[in-house]
């Protein structure tokens, strides 16, 4: 990271919650845990064919203020970040190299192309 990140994008941290559907299965919903401010940077992108549908898959690096390990507000790989209709699935989270005041979330956004 060169310089200080611009934490100007508001994102909502969400967690998956499963509820019984009454037929032996479950219904998955996403629950908002709170908002964070981050810097969203595109890392790479590609298109792939899934059946008859082309899917666009883009990876992002999202830098945010540091949150201690174990804190409920620290993002985890089983969670996601949302900005309006856009959803960023968290793949990995780690301390920002060279600056312990920030965390980096490596995310993937998948959308129909």
| CATH number where 36 lies | 2.40.10.270
**23-77 confidence digits (pLDDT tens):** 888 899 999 999 999 999 998 877 776 777 776 778 999 999 999 888 989 999 9
**pLDDT > 90: what percent of the chain?**
58
Of 91, 74, 60, 65, nearest to 7 by C-alpha is 65
CA distance 74 to 13: 9
The answer to whether the beta carbons of residues 72 and 51 sit under 8 Å apart is no
pLDDT for position 13: 96
**pLDDT > 70: what percent of the chain?**
92
pLDDT for position 9: 96
DSSP conformational letter for 79: E
Q: Please indicate, yes or no, if residue 49 is contained in any of the structural domains.
A: yes
Task: Count up the domains in the chain and report the number.
Answer: 1
pLDDT for position 113: 53
Q: Please indicate, yes or no, if residue 4 is contained in any of the structural domains.
A: no
Q: Please indicate, yes or no, if residue 3 is contained in any of the structural domains.
A: no
Confidence (pTM) = 0.81
Rounded alpha-carbon distances, angstroms, from residue 9 to 41, 46, 89: 11, 24, 16
């Amino acid at each position: 990271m060169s310089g200080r990140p611009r934490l100007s994008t508001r994102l909502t941290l969400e967690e998956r919650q499963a509820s019984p559907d009454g037929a032996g299965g479950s219904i998955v919903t996403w629950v908002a845990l709170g908002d964070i401010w981050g810097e969203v940077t595109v890392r790479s992108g590609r298109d792939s064919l899934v059946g008859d549908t082309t899917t666009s898959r883009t990876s992002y690096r999202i830098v945010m203020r540091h949150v201690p390990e174990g804190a409920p507000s620290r993002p985890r790989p089983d969670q996601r970040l949302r900005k309006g209709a856009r959803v960023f699935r968290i793949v990995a989270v780690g301390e920002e190299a060279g600056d312990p005041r920030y965390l980096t979330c490596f995310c993937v956004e998948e959308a129909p192309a």
